[in-house]
Amino acid sequence: MPSETEFQSSSGVTDLKRLESGLDALETPRSEKRSIGAFLFTLVSPLIAIAAILIIWQIIIWLQWQPNYIIPAPSEVWTALGEQAKADILWQATFNSIQRAAKGFVLALIIATPIGVALGLNKPLRSIFGPILTGLQQLPSVAWVPAAIIWFGLSDATIYTVVLLGAVPSIANGLIAGIDQIPSIILRAGQVMGAKGFARVRHIVLPAAWPGYLAGLEQGWAFAWRSLMAAELIAVSPALGPGLGQMLDNGRSLGNMALIIGSIFMILAVGVLVERVVFAPLRRRTLTNRGLLR
């Protein structure tokens, strides 16, 4: 049973205010700032692995274990990329590929978001269309390339079809998972505040589902990028202009192993760059804002 003192009213508002302020100060968790050293380390740390790979690679070359047309030296790969750069192909191809992937990704976002919201909030719709969406997510979107070429020829439409079929299911499924994880108390609080229809989706459902949605976007980007590479590798045409996939195919047809490895590096580098520059900061900010960072 609580003590009697609990019932003694304090002498006034200012008193209560001061007491409360003291209690608030005692109970507020202190936040810790991230040190600059730790921040620099997360920036530089991936380079350690890259350096290690380069050293091992160079050692293999010095051992002359395989001829150069099977495993080219790092310097040859560097030269091959330099030649592409001189011929104005390297940056053009990189830029084209990033632009295609970005456009496809934004388009996928626009298509997947309403689908995700509809299936996330509506159980009957989910049981009708959910399995198809999950099935599409399992299917490698490169499987659509032959069909897309027959439907659309060697055109941008073919490339975007494949990119969309890769990215849309991931984004939609991520959003659905995010909606499923919304605590019901948040939805009830929204209902009490009178959030209905579009306002409910915009102010309650989407922000509350954001962590899952973001995971879906990240996976959607990865699928968009790899689908694009598969499409570019198969759909090669002067009409399409250069892309990293086409550069890779060019290396294959010329039997130029250094160019093949160089192209693969470029594709990897873009993937890592986008993760580091776009998604990692977004993820970090989301977790920090919501107090989920460990």
Partner 1 sequence: MTIAQGAVELTNIVKRFSVDSPIILENVSLSVKPGEFVSLVGASGCGKSTLLNIIAGLETTTTGSVVLDGPPTLMFQEPALMPWLTAGKNIELALELSGVPRKARKPRAQELLELVHLERSYKQRPHELSGGMRQRVAIARALAQGRSVLLMDEPFAALDAITRDFLHEEITRIWKETGITIIFVTHNVREAVRLSQRVLLMSSRPGRIIREWDIGAEEPWRTDSTYSSYVSELANEITNNLREEIVRHAV
- Rounded CA separation 85/270 (Å): 16
Rg (CA), the chain: 27
Q: Say what angle helices 90-121 and 123-138 make with each other, to 10 degrees.
A: 150
For partner 1, the binding residue among 159, 179, 204, 214 (CB under 8 A) is: 204
For partner 1, the binding residue among 19, 48, 143, 268 (CB under 8 A) is: 19
**Token digits for 213?**
């949605």
What's the closest the beta carbon of residue 189 comes to partner 1, in angstroms? 4
For 193-214, b where at least 16 C-beta lie within 10 A, e where not — what string?
Answer: eebeeeebbeebbbebbbbbbb
Q: Say what angle helices 74-86 and 90-121 make with each other, to 10 degrees.
A: 90
Binding of partner 1 by 203 (CB under 8 A): yes
**Token digits for 131?**
């399995």
CB of 213 within 8 A of CB of 206?
yes
**CB of 217 or CB of 247, closer to partner 1:** 217
Binding of partner 1 by 225 (CB under 8 A): no
- Rounded CA separation 210/207 (Å): 5
Tell me which residues in 37-96 interact with partner 1 (CB under 8 A).
none
Binding of partner 1 by 281 (CB under 8 A): no
For partner 1, the binding residue among 17, 123, 252, 284 (CB under 8 A) is: 17
What's the closest the beta carbon of residue 93 comes to partner 1, in angstroms? 39
**CB of 67 or CB of 194, closer to partner 1:** 194
Binding of partner 1 by 189 (CB under 8 A): yes
Q: Which residues bind partner 1 (CB under 8 A)?
A: 1-2, 4, 6-10, 13, 16-17, 19-21, 23-24, 27-29, 31, 185-186, 188-189, 191-195, 199, 203-204, 207-208, 210, 289-291
